[in-house]
Copies of this chain bind each other. A is one copy, B any other.
Amino acid sequence: MSSDNADSLVASDDPNHPANLICQLCRLFYHNGWVTGTGGGISIRKGDHIFIAPSGVQKERMLPDNMFVMDLETKEYLRMPKSLKPSACTPLFLAAYTNRNAGACIHTHSQNAVLISLLYDKVFTIANIEQIKALPKLTEPGYLGFFDTLTIPIIENTAHEEDLKDSLEQAIIDYPATTAVLVRRHGIYVWGETVWKAKVYNEAIDYLLELAVKMRQLGIPPDGAIGSERNTRVV
């Protein structure tokens, strides 16, 4: 495979080409405070090609030319930009592709995710909030209902990001209804069938994490029954 050929993998006028979309979404996530300081990452799958943002770069300044491309079957890099390092998130992204047939995976250092990981033990749960309905049931077709409880597992962080792979895969197996895994004192991984679904799930989950922190600060349990807020209401 020639170098020219590899470059053609990321060169496209189509704004929805994965190499272009990753740049566009990273700018959005940067301005949301999710990937500042080179934190976080994103990957999009197109057929058997996985596009991955490089490690340690400024997320809002990425260019399509910076993208790594991997073959999902062989796990070999089809394209490795010179002088850039592959993302340490790669094994984690692969876990979502392999175990869930995901179309994209987003990793952020959202402060809401970090705070929730400090306030909850093994799982984060929230119930009876309309925004929950943006998230899929997964174990059966359709979306969660207003009266359902959203449960997101929390795994312990490790010294090296790639070492999260085993516990993240275990969480994926143990929680077949989850489309996200929180990493304590670190952030969150969210995936979806397509890049747009992954983006929407990430937005909806971050909304719920932020709301849950605010509810806790007001003394209202985020997973309480409807009406339970009356007892803890700050009058």
Contact = CB atoms under 8 A, between A and B. Distances in A.
A117 B168 CA distance: 36
A26 interface: no
A230 B121 contact: yes
A100 interface: no
A157 B186 contact: no
A214 B115 contact: yes
A1 to B, nearest CB: 31
Contacts of A157: 128, 130, 146, 226
A230 B122 CA distance: 12
B134 A114 contact: no
A59 to B, nearest CB: 10
Interface in A5-52: 33, 36-39
A156 B130 CA distance: 11
A101 interface: no
Number of copies: 4
A210 B145 CA distance: 27
B114 A211 contact: yes
A79 interface: no
Contact of A207 (B109, B147, B218): B109
Nearest to A61: B196
B159 A130 contact: no
7 contacts: A37-B201, A39-B130, A109-B131, A114-B130, A115-B215, A118-B215, A146-B157
Contact of A204 (B37, B206, B226): B37
A229 B38 contact: no
Interface string A123-139: 00000111100100000
Nearest to A118: B229
Given A131-B109, A234-B216, A159 B185 contact: no
Interface string A198-232: 01110110110011001111101000001001100
Q: Which 3 A-B pairs have the closest CB atoms?
A: A37-B204, A130-B186, A37-B203
